[in-house]
Amino acid sequence: MNVDLTGKVALVTGGSRGLGREMVLAFAEHGADVIIASRKLDACEELADQVRARYGRRALAVACNVGDWAACDALVEAAYAEFGRVDVLVNNAGMSPLYPSLAEVSEPLWDKVLGINLKGPFRLTAAIGERMRTGAGGAIVNISSLAAISPDALSLPYAAAKAGLNALTEGFAQAYGPSVRVNAIQAGPFRTDISTHWPDGFAEAISGRLALGRVGEPHEIVGAALYLASDMSSYTTGAILRLDGGAR
């Protein structure tokens, strides 16, 4: 079965770089118009220009901090004002800042990590999922993390947020089925621009825990994203798909 997203509109948060960028380009290549959201409008506009030039698809760039409830609502309104619909929502925006120790995690850092990784996806899924449910249906894809089931001391607030995102995935699948499918990609380590901030030796150390013996490349998110965003996954909802190179 070929993936055909012609006539669909896909919204990707954190869409201007890394895994988000790869998904935006893949959706456009397979026929979808796209909404690219991130905190940096210039980066979103640059990618939107590439989508228009390369694939001839419509592309809307929107600046949005998904940790802000009102900003999420404004993003939804902008998307529906431009396209009248959203068929695919990808909650990809995330962050996991470093901290010196668990005791030194500040309340603002905690709130920021939970806001971007959990509060934003909740609000966007509720707002867009409800419109999908009362309309033509759709697909929602949450980008979770291996940290949700294998947390460590270096990213505990992030791990807690992603565990919450897994719970939201299953709960929203029940709430908005049968016309809206809600699934998650539980991603392992990928060599995106964020990986430049990994501690020395981290990539080598974690590769030893992976059956494939290496971290992922950004384009390797595409197959799973296209599957969950398209009719190929018509009988898949509430699923947490591990995409981690065989972590143990």
Catalytic residue list = 145, 158, 162
In single-letter form, the type of residue at position 186 comes to Q
Residue type, 168: L
- Helices within the chain (DSSP H only): 18-29, 41-55, 69-83, 107-114, 120-134, 156-176, 202-207, 222-229
Q: How far apart are CA 159 and CA 187, in angstroms?
A: 12
Structure tokens at 46: 């640059």
- Sheet containing strand 59-63, strands side by side: 59-63, 33-38, 9-13, 88-91, 138-145, 180-187, 240-243
What the block records as the tokens of 237 is 């909802």
Say how far apart CA 164 and CA 148 lie, in whole Å: 8
| Rounded Cα–Cα distance for residues 93 and 209 (Å) | 26
Return d(Cα 243, Cα 133) in angstroms, integer: 28
Say if strands 240-243 and 9-13 run parallel, antiparallel, or are unpaired: unpaired
